[in-house]
Copies of this chain bind each other. A is one copy, B any other.
Amino acid sequence: MAIIGILGGMGPLATVDFINKLIALTPAKQDQEHLPYFLANLPQIPDRSAAILGQGNDPLPMLRYGIDKLNHVGVSVVAIPCNSSHHWHEEMSRQCFAPILHIAKASTLAIKNSGGQCVAILATRGALKSGFYQRELERANIDWILPETMNAQIDIDQCIHAVKAGNLALSANMLMQALEKIGKQNIDSILMACTEIPIAAQHISTHGLILVDSSMELARATVGYALSNNFLHHQ
């Protein structure tokens, strides 16, 4: 049986949001037409951003523990709906029996396909320090700016933290505050490169900016992989 593996819990609401997208993207009229998945939801994985910044415990042992569980039950592709954890994509891929899709590659492809030329990257400080998004975008000849240069990173930090604490009203306010600063720049889209941010974005009114949702793009890549590899016919 071909089954999707998901390493989640980073955070728990972002994982649920990702699963909702998987379900919505799957053409199904009854249970049996939906995609099967195993989800290792491990919120105890130490803070990824803090670790990259040298301020917290190393999450890699517990990321490996999760990959090991997915290896154990036998999955055929893995998706990880947490951007910052992709700092360890290579290490996890070496351990994983199945390919691990890359959230930054999926998101960059979406921007490229929609003709985007300059984006603002909304992410954790750790993900930005790691630089894997910047490298992907450069490889695709897409320019980028960072919220820090317009003093908006602090709003992004607070937005992400508020989603993790379940305070969606506060998260929406913080995101609005960031977008007001960022929207004045010469960009054509905003890349929500942290899976908490799309949850906050559900609670704000539109404001004339194109928001690219990294969680949605990873979900599209996952459903696309599963359907094109006939997961539903391998049951």
A interface, CB within 8 angstroms of B: 1, 9-13, 16, 19-20, 23-24, 28-47, 69, 72-73, 161, 164-166, 235
* CB pair B38 A40 closer than 8 Å: yes
Q: Given the known A-B contacts A36-B43, A235-B44, are A31 and B16 also in contact in the complex, defined by CB atoms under 8 Å?
A: no
* CB pair B43 A35 closer than 8 Å: yes
* CB pair B16 A23 closer than 8 Å: yes
* CB pair B10 A31 closer than 8 Å: yes
* CB pair A41 B31 closer than 8 Å: no
Q: Given the known A-B contacts A38-B69, A73-B73, are A32 and B20 also in contact in the complex, defined by CB atoms under 8 Å?
A: no
Please indicate the chain B residues that have their CB under 8 angstroms from the CB of A41 in the complex.
36-39
A8 CA / B19 CA spacing, docked (Å): 12
Output the nearest chain B residue to A23 by Cβ-Cβ distance. B12
Which one of B36, B39, B69 lies within 8 Å of A44 (CB-CB)?
Answer: B36
Please indicate the chain B residues that have their CB under 8 angstroms from the CB of A24 in the complex.
166
Output the nearest chain B residue to A37 by Cβ-Cβ distance. B41
A213 CA / B72 CA spacing, docked (Å): 34
A32 CA / B43 CA spacing, docked (Å): 5
Please indicate the chain B residues that have their CB under 8 angstroms from the CB of A23 in the complex.
12-13, 16, 166
Please indicate the chain B residues that have their CB under 8 angstroms from the CB of A166 in the complex.
23-24, 28
Which one of B33, B36, B42 lies within 8 Å of A36 (CB-CB)?
Answer: B42
* 13 new A-B contacts at CB < 8 Å, known A24-B166, A44-B235: A29-B165, A31-B45, A31-B164, A32-B44, A32-B46, A34-B43, A36-B42, A36-B43, A36-B44, A37-B39, A37-B41, A38-B40, A72-B72
Output the nearest chain B residue to A26 by Cβ-Cβ distance. B12
A-B contact pairs, 11 of them (CB 8 A): A9-B31, A11-B30, A11-B34, A16-B16, A23-B166, A29-B165, A31-B44, A32-B47, A36-B43, A40-B73, A69-B73
> Which one of A10, A20, A161 has the greatest number of beta carbons of chain B within 10 Å?
A20
- Minimal beta-carbon separation of A1 from chain B (angstroms): 8
- Minimal beta-carbon separation of A86 from chain B (angstroms): 16
A72 CA / B39 CA spacing, docked (Å): 14
* CB pair A39 B38 closer than 8 Å: yes
A47 CA / B29 CA spacing, docked (Å): 13
- Minimal beta-carbon separation of A168 from chain B (angstroms): 11
